[in-house]
Structure 1
């Protein structure tokens, strides 16, 4: 055999092996998303558009080394509605400021042509956007150019859809083991609360949750039997709005709050200076000014909906970071509410320590307190 033929044969073998490796690496990822759709995504995923910016909460837990490494564009909701968290990530990953941003599909400001021009391997959407996406024909338009859409959900039915959503993201980002670890951490917290409540069987206080209190003049947005409404029940309370609101979100009349006379009130709050400047909202989030938040919480209780209500009179009033409602971290809020509703039963539970542990184990940014406040400074 001549030297030339040996070299040619070796070259062919190397090329064939390389092609085999590429083929193996490019194996399609089969996904069943939370909408029940069977979706094929070409892997490995290298370019992703986040149709909801707050999906960063989950992505960062799976890709802590650099959660923006595969993101080529994202919706601007996190930048607008959670600027404190974004500041922490921008400091660590300044390249985030250079990412193209999108508006929302439901409000008609999502630029499909811009999305297509970025040539993503997949667009990850919140489940809530599915109807608007399909009505606008966006899913068909994207499918026609080979861009799959995958739906996840941490908002509409978080107790049902968080684990499947983490599993989906784990597959897409090649981080299945890490997704399983986060799901197990979440499950451990939830199970501990459930087991202790089952054993003690304490009296359950009536709780009213006001969603985004002070964001507008409207009172009172709340949660039905999902999201924070379900968290209330899981934390050992009785969600006042469960029998009033048929879905996840809705509005309760102030007169109904007064008539129901809840024993505990929880409002959700965040830094909304960009979207509701100067509002009465409680500015919770990383590194929040808790004394300022407490003052604004007290002011909210002076509105007609809370006049004479037991919770306000006895200062059993609390504020919790609004963004827990659209995040895989909601089990931290569950832990805190259990402690608020049953302080003796959960005296040994420390939600701040739990959230700090989550940051240390899973996230690339440091923990900074500021997610909870109560009218009682020791609450």
Structure 2
């Protein structure tokens, strides 16, 4: 059988990867730790299942080919994406799964038995990892652990985290292409705002609205809070929440009287069956999401506020808070906050282009919904 040119190149790449020895390099992770890792890594443990979001952006053909284990969160936190990956790569059903560092259910003996070249951990697991002494225990066995971050300070750490992963996986060029694509998508927002200097609406971002009966989790000066600022708004909670995550009380929302409200949501049936969360995400039912979004406006915290009266209530995929695709969220938020300025900006097209250029899955809409939508 004669291979096509593209297939031959891919086959050659796989052959070369299998016969060339790994090269020991020093990697500096997002905490500043210098870690020696053999690259490209051929056996990787993902400390969180949702880390596939950035691994997929580096390997469009088969992002799982070097994954030997991962945390068990993706089927619960993002079941639609998991189902799509499972359909395309059925072998992932057999991957070893782990609990989390923070909840103390990570099985280090199981991890060691898989003989990984590297374990990739999110920055938010750092304290738990250190308290358990995992870094030292793994180091004695020659297993390096590297921290990346797309959650705590994503606007600061996304680029270095993608470069770290590019180095680990031998995908440096793809990582740089992705970083350039992301930067250009953000510039389409920031250049327009700099040129026009519009008035900034006051925005309240509710984290996982309807996930519980409590109100209201939000974001401080990073993550979605920072995305709002980049998109030309003022984050209501920036002076209330000192760090990235925290809560505001209903009275604060009513007193602040935000111009717009953005609620993060997802399909969380596995966590909160029949919950009031807004089920946006990969291929979501936007009519049902619209209905649930409207129901959330009836809570006491939203009584009489300007955003409700003007219908400026929106929902956005929660997982933008934990992956390098957050530039799509910035574009969508900018379009909600300044519809006249960004009438020609198309976040859906940006996200579709991301899938076509970098990701193994075909794009499906469903990530955004607004009460202004029909």
Q: Same fold (TM over 0.5)?
A: yes
Bigger CA radius of gyration: 1
Matched with 1:48 is 44
Whether 1:181 and 2:177 are equivalent positions in the alignment is: yes
The answer to whether the 8 Å contact 2:39/2:170 transfers is: no
CA RMSD of aligned residues (A): 1.2
The answer to whether the 8 Å contact 1:29/1:172 transfers is: no
Matched with 1:9 is none
Whether 1:297 and 2:299 are equivalent positions in the alignment is: no
Write out aligned runs for 1:340-359 (5 A). 340-359=336-355
Whether 1:91 and 2:112 are equivalent positions in the alignment is: no
Q: Deviations over 1:331-369 (max 9, x none)?
A: 000000000000000000000000000000001110000
Matched with 1:13 is none
Displacement, 1:22? 9.8
Whether 1:120 and 2:120 are equivalent positions in the alignment is: no
The answer to whether the 8 Å contact 2:206/2:216 transfers is: yes
- Work out the CA distance in 2 between the residues paired with 1:280 and 1:22: 49
Matched with 2:217 is 221
The answer to whether the 8 Å contact 2:228/2:330 transfers is: yes
Structure 1 counterpart of 2:202, from 203, 206, 214: 206
Q: Specify the SS of the correspondent of 1:124.
A: strand
Matched with 1:261 is 257
- Work out the CA distance in 1 between the residues paired with 2:110 and 2:127: 21
User: Normalised by the size of structure 1, how large is the TM-score?
Assistant: 0.93
Displacement, 1:76? 1.1
Structure 1 counterpart of 2:96, from 100, 104, 108: 100
Write out aligned runs for 1:242-257 (5 A). 242-257=238-253
Whether 1:151 and 2:147 are equivalent positions in the alignment is: yes
The answer to whether the 8 Å contact 2:39/2:169 transfers is: no
Count of residues in Structure 1 that have an aligned counterpart in Structure 2: 358
- Work out the CA distance in 1 between the residues paired with 2:42 and 2:126: 24
Runs of 4+ in 1 over 4 A off after TM superposition: 21-24
User: Normalised by the size of structure 2, how large is the TM-score?
Assistant: 0.94
Q: Deviations over 1:116-170 (max 9, x none)?
A: 1111000000011011100011111111111100000001001110000000000
Q: Specify the SS of the correspondent of 2:147.
A: strand
- Work out the CA distance in 2 between the residues paired with 1:223 and 1:156: 10
Whether 1:135 and 2:139 are equivalent positions in the alignment is: no
Q: Specify the SS of the correspondent of 1:65.
A: coil
Matched with 1:16 is none
- Work out the CA distance in 2 between the residues paired with 1:213 and 1:150: 32
The answer to whether the 8 Å contact 1:211/1:267 transfers is: yes
- Work out the CA distance in 1 between the residues paired with 2:278 and 2:58: 30
- Work out the CA distance in 1 between the residues paired with 2:371 and 2:147: 39
